[in-house]
Amino acid sequence: MEIDYSNIKVIGFDADDTLWVNETYFREAEEEVGRLLSHYETPNKIDQELFLMEIKNLPTYGYGVKGFVLSIIELAIELSNGKVSNQIIGKILDIGKDMINKPIELLDGVEKVLKVLSKEYRLIVATKGDLLDQERKLDKSGLLQYFHHIEVLSEKQEANYKKLLNHLDIDPSEFLMIGNSLKSDILPLINIGANAIHIPFHTTWQHEKVSGKEANGEDYKTVERLTDILELLQ
């Protein structure tokens, strides 16, 4: 399938698991929580219940480590019938602090790609999550110099993208989004007439997965590595 990118003027990048590693740390934390709360339930059941708790709390806490930790604490109280110890609550808080303080691990080729593309295109970041946490990660990444604009969205749906493009005076046909999530980074952009390139990450949060039926027939490219987009755009 050939897609013409010659009209592109602005390129948007997702942040987590597109520019740097993120979801891996959540999976590691979930395993630690499974061990920590194993006195109350099996690790598999804990994992399932934690996902349900996170989804229930999304409208209240939004995305990111802080909401994740609050959901773990709520689950621990629920599973223990209110008997969970202060020591375990403290360990859950430590898990969250450790996640927030993780070093930024850039994915292969990120800086090379940004350096090349920033000479020809206006680059922006369009990500979601906790504002303070995302700003911290961007600052620690050393990549801020390549971006004209940073947007931390509460959700990545068609309406959010339309509002962002309108605010920045960007025609959808001249915009290309690059990200790892079909649900958040790709399909909403295609649906509003923009362009998108999908770069799968080896770990995807269950909430971000879409069915084959939802993904089939949409006009977007999938590449294995971020550096592959240079060949498509040059």
Average pLDDT value for residue range 179-208: 83
Beta carbons of 209 and 1 less than 8 angstroms apart: no
**Cα 24 from chain centroid?**
11
What pLDDT, on the 0 to 100 scale, is given for residue 202? 66
102-152 confidence digits (pLDDT tens) = 999 999 999 999 999 999 999 999 998 888 899 999 999 999 999 999 999
Q: Is residue 2 part of a domain?
A: no
Q: Which residues of 146-180 are buried (b: 16+ CB within 10 A; e: fewer)?
A: bbeeebbbeebbeebbbebbeebebebeebbbbbb
**Residues 119 and 176 both lie in one domain:** yes
pLDDT at 219 over 90: no
- Distance (Å, rounded) from C-alpha 86 to C-alpha 157? 39
**Residues 116 and 224 both lie in one domain:** yes
Beta carbons of 105 and 21 less than 8 angstroms apart: yes
What pLDDT, on the 0 to 100 scale, is given for residue 32? 95
* Separation in Å, CA 67 to CA 38, 50, 70, 94, 157: 22, 12, 5, 14, 20
Q: Report if pTM > 0.85.
A: yes
**Residues 185 and 211 both lie in one domain:** yes
What pLDDT, on the 0 to 100 scale, is given for residue 71? 96
Q: Which of 100, 122, 156 is the last residue of a domain?
A: 100
Tell me the residue range of the domain where 57 lies.
Answer: 23-100
Q: Is residue 59 part of a domain?
A: yes
**Nearest residue to 199 (alpha-carbon basis) of 55, 11, 3, 14:** 14
**Residues 192 and 212 both lie in one domain:** yes
* Percent of the chain clearing pLDDT 90 (strictly above): 78
Question: Which DSSP helix (H) or strand (E) runs through 161?
Answer: helix 158-167
CATH of the domain at 68: 1.10.150.240
Beta carbons of 110 and 143 less than 8 angstroms apart: yes
Q: Which of 64, 79, 100 is the last residue of a domain?
A: 100
Average pLDDT value for residue range 3-16: 93
pLDDT tier, 63 (very low <50, low <70, confident <90, very high otherwise): confident
- Distance (Å, rounded) from C-alpha 162 to C-alpha 138? 23
What pLDDT, on the 0 to 100 scale, is given for residue 179? 94
What pLDDT, on the 0 to 100 scale, is given for residue 17? 92
28-52 confidence digits (pLDDT tens) = 999 999 999 999 999 999 999 999 9
What pLDDT, on the 0 to 100 scale, is given for residue 171? 97
What pLDDT, on the 0 to 100 scale, is given for residue 129? 84
CATH of the domain at 145: 3.40.50.1000
Q: Which residues contact 16 (CB under 8 A, 6 or more apart)?
A: 22, 23, 127, 129
